[in-house]
Amino acid sequence: MASWTVQRFTDLTMRYAVPVDRLTDKKERKARRIMEAATALFLKHGYRKTSIDEVARDAGVGKGTVYLYFDTKADLLIHCILAEKAGPGMRMLREMQSITSPIEMVRGLFRAAIDTMYELPLTARIASGDHELQIVLDDLGKEVKELIHTTRVDRIKALLAPLSQIDDPSLTKVTLGITALLQSSPEIVTQGQLLGLDRTDHSNVTADILTAGVLAVLGTDIEAIGTVDFMGFTGIRREDLDD
């Protein structure tokens, strides 16, 4: 069983960002077919009610073949989520890679959290519905659960640090609050849809409101802000963003 690490998450994101029609490796194409079948079933039935037998049937492979590629159903779901996020995530990185303003980076983070949720039905469903993501993380183990949480918090804190005029414990509290807020982005999108908000307007306005609030809480001195390299926060090399 392959262990989950920050580097593995990054590597898989890069791998799954390659469109299916550009794949030449037969094994990779089969893995994608299994993930596509699983994603459709997870969306239709939810995580708990989807069986590996159904995934194998819809992918046109044997049940044993699924386990050749994925250790468990929880492992398969994480791969599906990474595959779903890969395309929109890489597009966001390409759009933001030239940004050097910490304020614009924070605004971009909020905007992407809302905007991409419109494109991530599996992620949105699992993140917001019936605590199923919690079940998956429990299935994967405590270490993976802590890795995902710690990595997310650390990266957000590093992104906020250049804007902060408050002490480190206070910055940590702000970071945790923002992390919790970002976790609720599927519900924010759902409410925006119910209100009939335009997708672009919704993400931009929400990002502006949240950014203004963060700057106020952090006591940001706008005149004193320098520049930073956005790619340094991502764990991805700039050259890897080339099409």
Reported as a single tens digit per residue, the pLDDT across 211-228 is 999 999 999 998 888 887
Same domain, 160 and 188: yes
Query: Whole-number mean pLDDT of the chain?
Result: 86
State the average pLDDT over residues 96-100: 80
User: What's the confidence (pLDDT) of residue 144?
Assistant: 75
Report residue 69: phi and psi, to 5°.
-100, -30
The closest of 38, 59, 60, 57 to 49, measured between CA atoms, is 38
What's the distance, CA 135 to chain centroid?
Answer: 18
User: What's the confidence (pLDDT) of residue 130?
Assistant: 52
- Residue 89 in any domain: the answer is no
**Token representation of residue 96:** 């933001």
Same domain, 80 and 106: no
Each residue of 190-214: pLDDT tens digit? 888 899 999 999 999 999 999 999 9
Each residue of 30-69: pLDDT tens digit? 999 999 999 999 989 888 889 999 999 999 999 999 999 9
**Contact yes or no for 136/77 (Cβ under 8 A):** yes
Q: What distance in Å separates the CA atoms of residue 38 and residue 81, rounded to the nearest whole number?
A: 10
Same domain, 221 and 187: yes
Report residue 128: phi and psi, to 5°.
-110, -10
pLDDT category of residue 233 using cuts at 50, 70 and 90 = low
User: What's the confidence (pLDDT) of residue 231?
Assistant: 67
Q: What is the 3-state secondary structure (H, E, C) of 108-152?
A: HHHHHHHHHHHHCHHHHHHHHCCCHHHHHHHHHCHHHHHHHHHHH
Same domain, 221 and 106: yes
Same domain, 71 and 171: no
User: What's the confidence (pLDDT) of residue 57?
Assistant: 97
DSSP string, the chain: -PPP-HHHHHHHHHHHTS-GGG---HHHHHHHHHHHHHHHHHHHH-TTT--HHHHHHHHTS-HHHHHHH-SSHHHHHHHHHHHHHHHHHHHHHHHHTT---HHHHHHHHHHHHHHGGGG-HHHHHHHHSTTHHHHHHHHH-HHHHHHHHHHHHHHHHHHHGGG--S-HHHHHHHHHHHHHHHHTHHHHHHHHHHTT--HHHHHHHHHHHHHHHHHHHHT--GGG-----GGGGTT--GGGG--
Specify the range with the lowest mean pLDDT, choosing from 106-115, 135-144, 150-159.
135-144
**Contact yes or no for 38/50 (Cβ under 8 A):** yes
Question: By percentage, how much of the chain surpasses pLDDT 70?
Answer: 89
Same domain, 45 and 147: no
Same domain, 105 and 198: yes
- Residue 91 in any domain: the answer is no
Residue that wins the pLDDT comparison between 40 and 147: 40
Domain boundary among 49, 84, 119: 84
Domain harbouring 69, CATH code:
1.10.357.10
Domain count, the chain: 2
Give the structural domain span for 201: 97-234
Same domain, 227 and 166: yes
- Residue 79 in any domain: the answer is yes
